[in-house]
Structure 1
Amino acid sequence: MQHHQTDTGIVVGVDTHKHTHAVVALSALGVRLGATTVPASSAGYRRLASWALALGRVTAFGVEGTGSYGAGLARALHQAGHRVLEVNRPDRSARRRNGKDDMLDALVSATAPQLTAAPGIANGTAAALLLLVGDNPGRIRSECALAKLCGACPIPASSGRTNRHRLNRGGNRQANAALHRIVVTRMRMHKPTTDYVARCTNEGKTKPEIMRCLKRYVAREVFSLPCKHPVAMPEPA
C-alpha cells in the first residue's frame, strides 16, 4: 500500500484482537493516510510503531480494549513514550449485524480522540456517533443530513400566532441518545452552555426547546470534526 508522508500530527487508531490488530492512520484533517494489520506480539507492536512514525509525527494512538486484547500494545506504546488514548469498544452485536469491518473499527479508534477533545463527549459517546457516520457515509453530505439522521432536526409545531418547533422523535436513536448525553453534561458544567440556557430561559423558551437547539448545535459541531474533511473509508472486501 502506498502511503503519503505528512509533517502534521497524525492519529493512529487500533482495533485489537487476540491474534492481530487492525490499524488506520489519519492526518490532522481527517484524511486516511494508510491502513495495515500487525500480529499481536512484541514484534508486531514495534512494527506498528515504525509504520506509524514513517507517516509523520504521531500525536496519539487510539487503542480499543486496553484492558483486554489491547493491553500489551498499550503498555508497549507507553513504554516507548507515546501518548495512548483508550477507546471504548463499540456495540459489537450491531457491527456484526451490519457486517464486521475491523478497519472501520480502527477508523473509529483513530477519530474518537478528535471528538473527545470537545466538551462533554466521552469515548463511548464519540464511538456511537462515529459508527453512525461510518455506517452511513453516503447519506451524510451536510450538517443538516447528519442532524436529520440523528433525529436532531427541528419539526414545526406552530399553533396560531405561536411559532414553535419540537424535538424530532425519529432518526437513529443511539446517536440521538449520544447527543442527549452531551447536552445534559454541558448544561451542568460547560459555562457557554449554561449561559445560553439562562438567556433562553429568560426569553421564555422551555427546557425541551432549549435542548432541541443544543442538540442541533452539537450535531453541527460533530459534523465539523469527522465529516467536514472527508475520510476515505475502507473498500469492501
Structure 2
Amino acid sequence: MASKPTKVIAGIDTHSDTHHVAVINEHGKPLADKEFLAVGSGYRKIIDFITSYGTVTAVGVEGTGSYGAELARTLRGEGLTVMEVNRPNRAVRRLKGKSDPLDAYQAAKSVLEGRTKAIPKAKDGPVECLRIIRSGRASAIKARTAAINQIKALLVSAPDKVRAKYRALATSALITALQRTRPSGHLADPEYVTLLTLKALAARCQALGAEIEAADAALKEILGSYAPLLCDLPGVGTEVASQLLITFGDNPDRLGNEAQFASLVGVAPVPASSGKTTRHRLSRGGDRSANNALHQVVLVRMGSCQRTKEYVAKRTAEGKGKREIMRCLKRYAAREIYRQITNPRPAPDNSDLRRVRTELGMTIATVAGELGQWVSILSRLERGHIRNDELAATYRQWLTEQKAA
C-alpha cells in the first residue's frame, strides 16, 4: 500500500537581501529551515526547497506588501496558496526570543493554527498602477506645498521693495508673477539673490503642478477603464475612487463579504455600551487613508445630497450627535461602494467580442497589446463584468477590420 503523501506548511521571514524559509509538517513538527537570497534565482530555489518535503498546503509570508511582494507573486504563479503573516507579538518575542529561523517557524505555525487567514493583495494589475501613480503624486504635492511655504517665508524677510510688490498676491498669481521675473544684479545684492531664489522656487512649483496634473490624468484614464461606474456614485471622485480601489486590491476574492470591507476601511461599528446606555462608537482600526476617503464622501453628501440631508435631519431629531450620524453614513457609504466594486450595474452584452476573437484565432493578450489595454480589462469586458461602451465599440471595430482583412 502506497504511503500517504506528506502535507507541509512553509513560513518565510522576509528581508531586503535575504529570506529565511522554514518548513513544518501538518502536525507542527519542524522539518527544515534555510536562508535564500532575495533574487529571482533565490525564489526558484525556495520553491524547490519547500516542495521537496511534500505537498505544500499553504505558505505564510511576512511583509507581502514590501520585502515579500515579489516572492508572493512568484509563489502564487506556481499555484501555491499564500497567506499574509503579521509580525509576531512583542510580548511573545520577549519570552521566546527572536531570530530569522524562529520568525520563519512562527509564520508557518500561525498558518497551521489558523491565526493567519489574510490573503495578500495580488499587486499585478490596474490597482497596483493606481497605487504607484498616487505615491508619486503624493510626494509631488508635499514638495509643492513645501516650496510654496518657503516662498512665503522668504517674502516675510525680503527687502521692502520685493515684499510690497508680491506679498499681497494670491498663491497662484504669486507663483506666476515670480516665475516671469527677470532678476538682474550681482550675488552680493540681497534683493537680487532673493528674487533669484524666489524665481527658482516658483519654477519648481509650476513643474510640480504639471506633474500632479499628469498624474491626475493618468488616474482618471485608469479609472475610466477599470471602474467607470464607481465615480458615478455621489461624492466619489478620482481621488476617493483610486484610494478605495487601492485598499480593495486587484484580487476582490480576498474580501469575502461587505462586512469585511467595512472592517478594512475602519467603519465597522464597535460596541461601546455600558449600563443603561446602548451605543456604538467609531472604529479606530482599518486603513485610515480609506477611512479618510469615506469621510470626504460623507461630507460631500451632507452638503449636496438631498437624501443624506433628510437622513441627517431625522437622526438629529432622534437625539443623535453629528459624530454618531457620520459614523452611520460612513457605514452606508461603504456598503454602497462595496456593491459597486464587486457587482457593478449590468453592462451591455459583449459576448460577441470573445466569439469573434476566438474565430479569428487571436489570444486576448494579442488584442490587449494592439489596443493598448490590460488583459484583465478586456477579459472583464468580454464577460460583462464591467461597462465601457467606448472601449467595447473600439474593440468591436478593430475585430471587424481584422475579419475583413
TM-score, length-normalised on structure 2?
A: 0.31
Question: Given residue 92 of structure 1, which amino acid in structure 2 is its aligned partner?
Answer: S
Give the C-alpha shift of residue 137 in structure 1.
3.1
Counterparts of 1:17-56 in structure 2, within 5 Å, are none
Give the C-alpha shift of residue 228 in structure 1.
2.9
Aligned residues, how many?
138
Report % sequence identity.
45
Q: Which residue of 2 is the match for residue 186 of structure 1?
A: 301
Q: Which residue of 2 is the match for residue 149 of structure 1?
A: 264
Q: Which residue of 2 is the match for residue 121 of structure 1?
A: 236
Q: Which residue of 2 is the match for residue 164 of structure 1?
A: 279
Matches of 1:113 and 1:88 in 2, distance apart?
17
Matches of 2:251 and 2:298 in 1, distance apart?
23
Deviations 1:71-99 (A, max 9, x none): xxxxxxxxxxxxxxxx99842359xxxxx
Residue in structure 1 matching 2:292, options 174, 177, 191: 177
1:140 aligns with 2:255: yes
Residue in structure 1 matching 2:317, options 194, 197, 202: 202
Structure 1 unaligned segments of length 5 or more: list them: 1-86, 95-104
- Preserved CA contact (<8 Å) 1:88 1:124: no
Matches of 1:157 and 1:142 in 2, distance apart?
24
Question: Given residue 241 of structure 2, which amino acid in structure 1 is its aligned partner?
Answer: A
1:111 aligns with 2:226: yes
Structure 2 unaligned segments of length 5 or more: list them: 1-129, 138-219, 345-374, 378-405
- Preserved CA contact (<8 Å) 2:252 2:342: no
Secondary structure, aligned partner of 1:158: coil
Secondary structure, aligned partner of 2:286: coil
Matches of 1:203 and 1:111 in 2, distance apart?
41
**Higher relative strand content:** 1
Matches of 2:316 and 2:287 in 1, distance apart?
28
Residue in structure 2 matching 1:92, options 135, 151, 171: 135
Task: Decide whether aligned partners of structure 1 residues 140 and 93 sit closer, same or farther in structure 2, where only a CA change above 3 A counts.
Answer: farther
Q: Which residue of 2 is the match for residue 20 of structure 1?
A: none
Higher relative contact order (CA 8 A, sep 6+): 1
- Preserved CA contact (<8 Å) 1:155 1:166: yes
RMSD: 3.1
More deviation, 132-141/204-213:
132-141
**Higher relative helix content:** 2
Deviations 1:150-179 (A, max 9, x none): 001000011211110000011001110110
Matches of 1:174 and 1:233 in 2, distance apart?
26
- Preserved CA contact (<8 Å) 1:154 1:167: yes
Give the C-alpha shift of residue 134 in structure 1.
1.6
Give the C-alpha shift of residue 141 in structure 1.
1.7
